[in-house]
C-alpha cells in the first residue's frame, strides 16, 4: 500500500503498526500538508458486516472525545471497499516500548497512569468503555505526553452494540475477570486493566504470565493480584494498595469510578513529591466480613485479602523505609518526645471477635473509625447483661509503614468500655500490649511504648466491663 493515494488526499508513506483487525500507516495529508495516522481495516474483515460496523463505531466513538490525552479522529471513509480512519499522528514510542526498557521511576509511572486515567474518566463520562487498555494503546509524544488510542472495541454503556455478552474481547495480559468470562463490562473493567498497566510500569512485568490466551485469562479470573512490593520494595505501600484495589476480582471491590482512581493517584503523586506519606488519607473500600461455619479454638483475624498479601512483605518494606527515612543516624526516638512527634494516619481494616462464630465484629464499618468524620463510627455488637463472656473484641488498624507510635487517641461513645492498645507485624495475629488499660468515655489518649520496635499494625482491644450495651469508636488518631 505504500505510495497509494487514499480518498484523493492521504498519501501512504510507511507501515507503523499492525493489529488483529487493522494496519496503521503513516501518511501525508496533501490537503492540509501534515502527517497523519491512517488505520485501514484488514481486507478479510471488509466482507464481515459486524467487523465493518465495529470499525465504523470506533470512528464515531472517538470523534466524540476531545481530550489532550486521547488521540484525535480527523476523518473516516471508504475506498474500493476498504474502511479507513484518519487520526492525528503521534511521533514517538508507545508505553510498551518504554516499559520494555525497564521499570519506570515511581513518580514517572504514577504520572503516566494519571494521564491515562484522566483520558478514560473523560470517555466514561461520555458513556464509553475502552475495553482494551494496555501499554501498546498508549502513545507518547515528544514531550512525554500520553495519548490513549485504539478504541476499536470500545462500547457504549447505553446502547447494545455488535459485541454481545458471551464474546471475549481484549488482550489477555490486561483482561479483567468479568471480561475473560464473557460477561458484561462497565467502567470498572477499564479500572482493572489500568491497574495491571501500572503494575507493569513499576515492575517491568505483567502480573500473570502464561503460554496462551486462555491460561493467562484464567489466572486473572482465579488468582489474587500479586503485591508490587514482592518485586520492588521502594514502591510506597499506599500505591501498592491502589493497585490491589484496582485489580480486585469482584468489580464491587474496585474504585467506584475512574475519577476516584484519579483522585487516589493524585494523592500518591503528592506524597512522592513531598517525600512523606504522613497524614495521608486513602480512599478505603468497606471490607467484607469474614465468614465461618463455626467456632474454632485457634483463632485468627478476618482481614482483607490484600492485607494478607502485604503481610508477607511488610518487614522488608519497613526495613527499606527505615533506612530511607534516616535509620542510619539520628539516635532513638523516645515515646512521647514532643519535639519529634508527628501525626500518623492509620487505616481501620478489620473488626475481630476471636470467640465469635464468624470471628468478625463489624469489619464492614472498620474504616469509619479512621475516615476523619467524627459523625461515623465503628461499633461492637449489642450485648446483653451476662452475655459478654469474652476476653474482648478489637479493631485492627494498619499503619502507612512500620513505625513506633507514642500516642493513640480514641474518641469513644456508647457504653463505657475499657481498652488496651496492641501491636503486631501481621494483621492475622501476634498482637502484644503496648499500653496500659484505660476506661474510654469520650476522648481518651493512650501512651504507647513499643520499646523501640516498629510495627505495621495496631489494634484497640476493648471490653465492656458491665457485660452489656454497645461500644462505639468514632475516630482513632495517632502520633509517632
Catalytic residues, by residue number, are 132
Q: Closest Cα to residue 257, out of 127, 121, 110, 65?
A: 121
Distances in Å between the alpha carbon of 321 and those of 98, 199, 267, 314, 398? 28, 20, 19, 10, 16
Please count the CA atoms within 13 angstroms of the CA of 225 that sit on its side-chain side.
Answer: 34
Please report the DSSP string for 340-385 in residue order. Answer: T--EE--EEEEEE-TTSSSSBS-GGGGGGGGSS-TT--EE---B-T
* Contact of 196 with 213, CB cutoff 8 Å: no
Residue corresponding to grid cell 519529634: 340
Reported as type and span, the H/E element at residue 438 is: strand 438-440
Distances in Å between the alpha carbon of 335 and those of 396, 434, 447, 454, 461? 21, 11, 8, 12, 20
For the chain, helix, strand, coil in percent to 5 are: 30, 25, 45
* Contact of 400 with 281, CB cutoff 8 Å: no
Return the sign of the alpha-carbon dihedral for residues 149, 266, 320, 313. negative
421 bridge partner residues = 460
Please report the DSSP string for 4-37 in residue order. Answer: -EETTTEEEEEEEEE-SSEEEEEEEETTTTEEEE
Contacts of 237 (CB under 8 A, 6+ apart): 229, 277, 310, 314, 317, 400, 401
Please report the DSSP string for 163-204 in residue order. Answer: S-TT---S-GGG--HHHHTTPPP-HHHHHHHHHHHHHHHHHS
Amino acid at each position: 500500500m505504500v505510495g497509494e493515494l487514499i480518498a484523493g488526499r492521504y498519501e501512504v508513506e510507511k507501515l507503523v503498526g499492525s493489529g488483529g483487525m487493522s494496519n496503521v500507516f503513516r501518511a501525508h495529508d496533501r490537503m492540509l500538508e501534515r502527517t497523519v495516522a491512517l488505520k485501514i481495516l484488514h481486507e478479510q474483515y471488509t466482507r464481515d458486516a459486524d467487523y465493518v460496523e465495529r470499525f465504523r463505531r470506533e470512528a464515531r466513538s472517538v470523534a466524540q472525545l476531545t481530550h489532550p490525552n486521547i488521540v484525535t479522529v480527523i476523518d473516516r471513509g471508504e475506498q474500493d471497499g476498504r474502511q479507513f480512519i484518519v487520526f492525528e499522528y503521534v511521533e514517538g514510542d508507545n508505553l510498551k516500548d518504554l516499559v520494555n526498557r525497564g521499570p519506570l521511576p515511581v513518580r514517572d509511572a504514577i504520572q503516566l497512569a494519571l494521564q491515562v486515567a484522566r483520558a478514560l474518566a473523560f470517555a466514561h463520562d461520555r458513556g464509553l468503555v475502552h475495553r482494551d487498555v494496555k501499554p501498546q494503546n498508549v502513545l507518547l509524544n515528544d514531550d512525554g505526553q500520553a495519548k490513549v488510542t485504539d478504541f476499536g472495541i470500545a462500547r457504549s454503556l447505553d446502547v447494545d452494540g455488535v459485541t454481545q455478552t458471551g464474546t471475549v474481547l481484549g488482550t489477555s495480559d490486561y483482561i479483567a475477570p468479568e471480561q475473560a468470562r464473557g460477561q458484561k463490562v462497565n467502567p470498572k473493567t477499564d479500572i482493572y486493566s489500568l491497574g495491571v498497566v501500572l503494575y507493569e510500569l513499576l515492575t517491568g512485568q505483567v502480573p500473570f504470565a502464561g503460554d496462551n490466551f486462555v491460561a493467562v485469562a484464567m489466572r486473572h479470573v482465579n488468582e489474587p493480584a500479586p503485591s508490587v512490593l514482592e518485586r520492588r520494595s521502594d514502591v510506597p505501600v499506599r500505591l501498592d494498595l491502589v493497585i490491589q484495589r484496582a485489580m480486585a476480582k469482584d468489580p464491587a471491590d474496585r474504585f467506584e469510578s475512574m475519577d476516584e482512581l484519579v483522585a487516589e493517584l493524585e494523592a500518591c503523586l503528592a506524597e512522592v513529591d513531598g517525600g512523606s506519606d504522613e497524614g495521608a488519607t486513602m480512599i478505603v473500600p468497606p471490607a467484607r466480613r469474614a465468614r465461618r461455619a463455626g467456632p474454632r479454638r485457634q483463632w485468627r483475624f478476618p482481614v482483607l485479602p490484600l492485607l494478607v498479601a502485604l503481610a508477607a512483605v511488610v518487614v522488608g518494606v519497613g526495613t527499606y523505609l527505615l533506612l530511607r527515612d534516616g535509620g542510619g543516624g539520628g539516635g532513638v526516638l523516645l515515646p512521647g518526645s514532643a519535639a519529634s512527634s508527628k501525626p500518623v494516619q492509620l487505616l481501620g481494616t478489620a473488626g475481630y471477635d476471636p470467640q465469635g462464630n464468624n470471628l468478625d465484629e463489624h469489619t464492614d464499618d472498620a474504616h469509619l473509625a479512621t475516615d476523619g468524620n467524627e459523625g461515623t463510627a465503628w461499633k461492637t455488637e449489642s450485648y446483653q447483661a451476662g452475655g459478654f463472656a469474652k476476653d474482648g473484641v478489637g479493631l485492627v488498624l494498619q499503619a502507612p509503614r512500620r513505625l513506633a507510635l507514642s500516642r493513640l487517641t480514641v474518641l469513644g461513645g456508647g457504653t463505657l468500655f475499657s481498652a488496651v492498645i496492641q501491636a503486631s507485624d501481621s494483621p492475622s495475629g501476634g498482637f502484644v500490649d503496648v499500653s496500659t488499660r484505660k476506661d474510654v468515655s469520650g476522648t481518651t489518649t493512650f501512651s504507647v511504648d513499643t520499646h523501640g520496635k516498629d510495627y505495621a499494625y495496631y489494634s484497640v482491644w476493648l471490653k465492656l466491663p458491665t457485660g452489656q450495651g454497645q461500644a462505639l469508636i468514632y475516630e482513632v488518631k495517632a502520633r509517632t
